[in-house]
Chain A
Amino acid sequence: EVQLVESGGGFVQPGGSLRLSCRASGFTFTSYAMSWVRQAPGKGLEWVSVISGGGDSPYYGDSVKGRFTISRDNSRNTLFLQMNSLRVEDTAVYYCAKSRTDWVNDAFEIWGQGTMVTVSS
């Protein structure tokens, strides 16, 4: 069974940092691009970042560029999102998502259950 399990969310003050993890199973992890997508409470979906299967090509949405870093450890089938300089508006459920193909910009075929990040003073 294909599965994505996120962890690492929590409560942090503005300006702080958090590192999210997403453990993948049930598919050949290195063969697929992986993304982070977030959803603020009661709001819609916003793409955050994507990384290629090999991990050498990361891309970011404008709202997080320069503050967030996506990475992956293919030996551990794990995706990461390092979030620095957090703002109140970063408060959201963060989902990791598997691309439908190895292309970095494809539909999001499988989603994790999400991890909540709350940024507040």
Chain B
Amino acid sequence: EIVLTQSPATLSLSPGERATLSCRASQSISSYLAWYQQKPGQAPRLLIYDASNRATGIPARFSGSGSGTDFTLTISSLEPEDFAVYYCQQRSTWPTFGPGTKVDIK
């Protein structure tokens, strides 16, 4: 099973700041990585697929990069609605998810 590690566990930032979230895979997954956003009491929402492709309707402030084992989700300027938990997910083998990074308000 491919294990995904996310860092940091919690990121405390202010609106307007840049957020950089990391996801590392236990072995190479090429570009088969997705990012999801989840707010309390809601289902996850797909943000990025295949490492760097924004899903339909996702604002341009969200961007993804990386390949192999190291990946990054960047939110260029945090909006109030962006404070949430973010999960990465690999599909190189049957899907596994990272433990999540919580982005909260500083």
Contacts and interface: CB of A to CB of B under 8 A. Distances in A.
B23 to A, nearest CB: 13
Interface of B: 1, 34, 36, 42-46, 49-50, 55-56, 87, 89, 91, 94-100
Contacts of B99: 44
B91 A44 contact: no
A111 B91 contact: no
A45 B43 contact: no
A85 to B, nearest CB: 21
Given A107-B50, A108-B46, A114-B43, A44 B94 contact: no
B46 A113 contact: no
B36 to A, nearest CB: 8
A5 to B, nearest CB: 11
A109 B43 contact: no
Given A105-B91, A107-B89, A107-B91, A44 B46 contact: no
A105 B56 CA distance: 19
B50 A45 contact: no
B86 to A, nearest CB: 11
A22 B16 CA distance: 39
B46 A61 contact: no
A19 interface: no
A100 interface: yes
Interface residues of A, number: 20
13 contacts: A35-B95, A44-B99, A45-B44, A45-B87, A47-B97, A100-B49, A106-B91, A107-B49, A108-B34, A108-B36, A108-B46, A109-B49, A113-B42
A53 interface: no
A61 B94 contact: yes
B46 A100 contact: yes
B55 A44 contact: no
A105 B43 contact: no
A45 B98 CA distance: 8
Given A61-B94, A100-B55, A108-B46, 20 more contacts: A44-B100, A46-B97, A47-B95, A47-B97, A95-B43, A100-B46, A106-B49, A106-B91, A107-B46, A107-B50, A107-B91, A108-B36, A108-B89, A109-B46, A109-B55, A110-B46, A111-B43, A111-B44, A111-B45, A112-B43
